Amino acid sequence: MRRLTPCNRCASPFLAIGSTAAVSSNGGPRCISSSDALSCLWRSSISPRRWSACQTVKPVTVGILSPGLPSIPPEYSKAFRERGYEEGRNLRIEFRTAKGKTEALPELATELVRLKPDVLIGSTTPATLALKQTTDSIPIVFFFVSDPVATGLVKSFDHPGGNITGLSVADEYWSVKTVEIVTETLPGICCLTVLRNSSNQAAPVVTVAFEKAAKTLGIELKFMDAGSPDQLNSALTIPLEGRFKTALLSTPESIFVAARTQIAEYAERQHIPLFGPYRADAVAGAVMSFGASYYGQFQALVGHVDKILKGAKPADLPVEQPTAFDLVLNLKVAKALGVQIPQSVLARATELIE
């Protein structure tokens, strides 16, 4: 015979089925509203993972630090919802951005740590380093980080150690493959301009990878440096000249993500093909984008956060690297530029924008 349990909030009896009873702020059981119950039942019919998440409404706080994004990307909320976390119900997100001014990151990191969140998220290497230097107790999950070992974030990929783990974007692999695809798409190209954030602590790692790839493929590289929105605005007023007015490659940086339309317009004014790391770059006007699935990285990130919220220790969670990469071609832009994309590249595309 099932037992009626008194609600800790309103003292009304309710039927406790398994572990679906909610928990009040002082730890006792409480009844859930009819809308909450219907929501949980509906979720259970869709996904066992979501049903599991509905078994508790204990709120959690996640702090996010970004060096350049102006606001929280919608992918965060979507990925958290898939794991059963919803803002206003059981999730509170504290977002802080340096708006491209990396010197502001330490102060913002201190501000987030003072809030005592359950987990901190560092978007890119500079943001994660600022968080690491601020706390050694609150779990930190990073993503969009090039080489967490070389930059001192973790001891190793398999055994991060300390209070930090996360996702590496496999920049070395991406750099090499991207340059290969550029040369395959533009046969005979002699030179390539690469838009780079020189203020990112991972810049030397990425630079070496690009230089090795270029040497192997027999092309010259020129780096266009921009470490802040102001520097980017200035760089985009200077046209490419001579043999380097052939193609532009934008690297995966938050300040470039925030300015992807501006970068696409810069390339369009000079009538040169633009290559980027994310699908949204191709949508904005790049001839091609190649990189790890943008949303897939958010899903993997939140997967790490979810494990930590359920008791896992960052030191025991290996750093993940992407295994699936998307190649998106904007055929409309290619046609306007007179770029004939080879069949070998078309055959590998995961999406064609026409």
Alpha helices by DSSP H, listed for 196-253, are 203-217, 229-235
Could you identify the residue written with the tokens 């708006």? 99
Residue 198: per-residue pLDDT: 83
User: What is the residue whose two structure tokens read 């560092």?
Assistant: 122
Across 210-234, average pLDDT: 93
Is there a contact between 177 and 183 (Cβ–Cβ < 8 Å)? no
* β-pair partners for 309: none
Amino acid sitting at position 118: D
Query: What are the CB-based long-range contacts (under 8 Å, 24+) for 4-7?
Result: 5/29, 7/31
pLDDT in tens, 77-105: 999 999 999 999 999 999 999 998 889 99
- What's the predicted TM-score (pTM) here? 0.74
Looking at residue 352, what is its pLDDT? 97
> Do the Cβ atoms of 4 and 15 come closer than 8 Å?
yes
Q: How many residues does the chain have?
A: 354
Range name among 6-20, 64-78, 125-139, 250-264 with the lowest pLDDT average = 6-20
Helix (H, G, I), strand (E, B) or coil at 289: strand
Domain residue limits, the chain? 1-57, 171-292+325-353
**pLDDT of the residue at 6:** 43
Q: What is the pLDDT of residue 47?
A: 52
pLDDT winner (highest mean) among 117-121, 141-145, 322-326? 117-121
pLDDT above 50 (res 184): yes
Q: How far is CA 88 from the centre of its chain?
A: 23
Q: What is the 3-state secondary structure (H, E, C) of 251-306?
A: CCCHHHHHCHHHHHHHHHHCCCCEEECCHHHHHHCCCEEEEECHHHHHHHHHHHHH
Residue 290: what are its φ and ψ, rounded to 5°? -140, 130
- The pLDDT score that the predictor gives to residue 293 is 87
Tell how far CA 284 is from the center of its chain. 18
C-alpha distance across the termini of the chain, in Å = 63
C-alpha span between 303 and 84 (Å, rounded): 11
Helix (H) or strand (E) holding 123: strand 119-123
Q: How far apart are CA 233 and CA 226, in angstroms?
A: 8
Average pLDDT, the chain: 85
Homologous superfamily of domain range 171-292+325-353: Response regulator (3.40.50.2300)
Which pairing describes strands 119-123 and 60-66: parallel, antiparallel, or unpaired? parallel
